Amino acid sequence: MTKPSFFDLTFDELKALLAEKGLTPFGATQMFDWVYKKWVFDPAQWTNVARATKEFVIEAFDFGMLPIVWSGLSKDGTRKFLVKLADGQTVETVAIPARERLTLCVSSQVGCAVGCTFCHTATQGLKRHLKPSEVVLQYMTIQKWLMDHVHADERLTNIVYMGQGEPLHNFENMKKATLIFMAERGLGLGQRRITLSTSGLVPAIEKLAEDFPPVNIALSLHSARNNVRTELMPINKVYDLERLFTAIKKIPLKAHRRITYEYLLIDGMNDTMEDVVALAALLNSKESKINLIPFNEFPGSKYKRPSEERIMWFLDQMIKRGFTVTIRTTKGSDILAACGQLKSEFDKLNLWDKKDGPVVIPSIASSVLQNLQSPQR
Ligand code: SF4
């Protein structure tokens, strides 16, 4: 029988478990130190941990990382990984360099139920939620890989919950993973280093203030007009802009903190003057940051990327209206970095071993990927 993963435990849970077993709770501090600060996952090497405690955790828990079944490096430095879970499912996780940061974009679910019409993952439907350990292990696995394969000092600095899945649909598990990321005794990631991005699941947003660790919030807005947003994101039928913003206004913002609004710019869909006016009317310029994301076309996508002139025009219009606006450059487009693309391409070409996931033959994988690059302008 498979053992539960050690990476499902928060610090407080581990402490309570040790106490319950009659072991010294201080062992939790020592173990978190070995695992999350010293990167030693073999309990046999934990020299200062009591023997009884080591014997107990060796017997009770699995300390394994996630197998990486494929990795690709983009020209811009973005690294994409396909990792395999215990039940054979795979998810994508992407390390994105930008200035002095190295951000890991993690997945929260296998597939997704939200059904955004511009998203490749949506075509896969929801298979299941990820466990807390499967979220934490994306970070641990990739950080270890970077230390082993890039440089011993290479460090991930930030995490965004923007990979496959809607994180708030997997509320409890993402909350637990966040507690593990933030634990002072463990990885100790500060709240400013973690960003949760949601499509707008209102009942979960309403619980954020009281029931979720305080992290940065990003909302996938994509349109300030209900009819357009509903077309792009069917969730808007249930939670329209009015309900959504009633919930968002309840999120307490500390001084100088803003909510980031992700705005995918799609040619002829949400890039007109009507859209500019609606967006400026909906958002408060002092409490918002707008992140424009020119659409990253993928094979079979029905939407198009606007021209560079149109993108700059939209940016300019929002800046003139007093907003802080950034443009997210498309990262890793030469390695299928839009979420869900890699898994789908392996699925489509049937490059899977029935038991073990993708058949990873580097020469085949690279030629497949060359052939499957998304069209770029
Ligand atoms: S964009 Fe995000 S929320 Fe929407 S379908 Fe894709 S993964 Fe789900």
The closest alpha carbon to 225, from 160, 275, 181, belongs to 275
Distance CA 243, CA 207 (A): 14
Provide the 8-state DSSP code for 48: T
Angle at 157 between CA 155 and CA 158, to 5 degrees: 140
| 53 and 79 fall within a common domain | no
Q: What is the domain count for the chain?
A: 2
Q: Return the residue matching tokens 């230390």.
A: 147
More confident residue, 350 or 136: 136
Check whether 335 has a pLDDT greater than 60: no
Distance CA 141, CA 256 (A): 34
Q: Is 112 in the pocket of ligand 1 (CB under 6 A)?
A: yes
Q: Is 262 in the pocket of ligand 1 (CB under 6 A)?
A: no
Q: Is 162 in the pocket of ligand 1 (CB under 6 A)?
A: no
Provide the 8-state DSSP code for 335: G
Give per-residue pLDDT as tens, 258-290.
899 999 999 999 999 999 999 999 999 888 999
Q: What is the average pLDDT across 17-33?
A: 95
Check whether 63 has a pLDDT greater than 90: yes
More confident residue, 138 or 373: 138
Decide: 167 and 108 in contact? Cβ < 8 Å: yes
| 35 and 112 fall within a common domain | no
CATH code of the domain containing 15: 1.10.150.530
Q: What is the pLDDT of residue 367?
A: 30
Q: What is the pLDDT of residue 371?
A: 30
| 174 and 47 fall within a common domain | no
Structure tokens at 141: 């696995």
Distance CA 31, CA 89 (A): 29
| 16 and 130 fall within a common domain | no
Decide: 105 and 96 in contact? Cβ < 8 Å: yes
Amino acid at 305: R
| 16 and 86 fall within a common domain | no
CATH code of the domain containing 96: 3.20.20.70
* Residue 166 Cα: closest atom of ligand 1: 3
Q: Is 178 in the pocket of ligand 1 (CB under 6 A)?
A: no
Q: What is the pLDDT of residue 123?
A: 84
| pTM score of the predicted model | 0.87
Decide: 334 and 74 in contact? Cβ < 8 Å: yes
Check whether 228 has a pLDDT greater than 70: yes
- pLDDT band of residue 377 (cuts 50, 70, 90) is very low
| 87 and 45 fall within a common domain | no
Check whether 342 has a pLDDT greater than 60: no
Range of the domain at 47: 6-60
Interval between CA 166 and ligand 1 midpoint (Å): 6
| 183 and 263 fall within a common domain | yes
Give per-residue pLDDT as tens, 175-209.
999 999 999 988 999 989 999 999 999 999 999 98
Q: Mean of the per-residue pLDDT values for the chain?
A: 87
Q: Is 201 in the pocket of ligand 1 (CB under 6 A)?
A: no
Q: 61-65, 134-138, 355-359 — which is least confidently predicted? A: 355-359
Check whether 107 has a pLDDT greater than 50: yes
Interval between CA 197 and ligand 1 midpoint (Å): 10
Check whether 121 has a pLDDT greater than 90: no
Check whether 332 has a pLDDT greater than 80: no
Substitution site in 105, 116, 201 for ligand 1 pocket (most atoms within 8 Å of beta carbon):
116
* Residue 122 Cα: closest atom of ligand 1: 5
Q: Is residue 120 part of a domain?
A: yes
| 168 and 51 fall within a common domain | no
| 90 and 54 fall within a common domain | no
Interval between CA 220 and ligand 1 midpoint (Å): 9
- pLDDT band of residue 250 (cuts 50, 70, 90) is confident
B/e letters for 59-72, b = 16+ CB within 10 Å, e = fewer, are: eebebbbbebbbbb
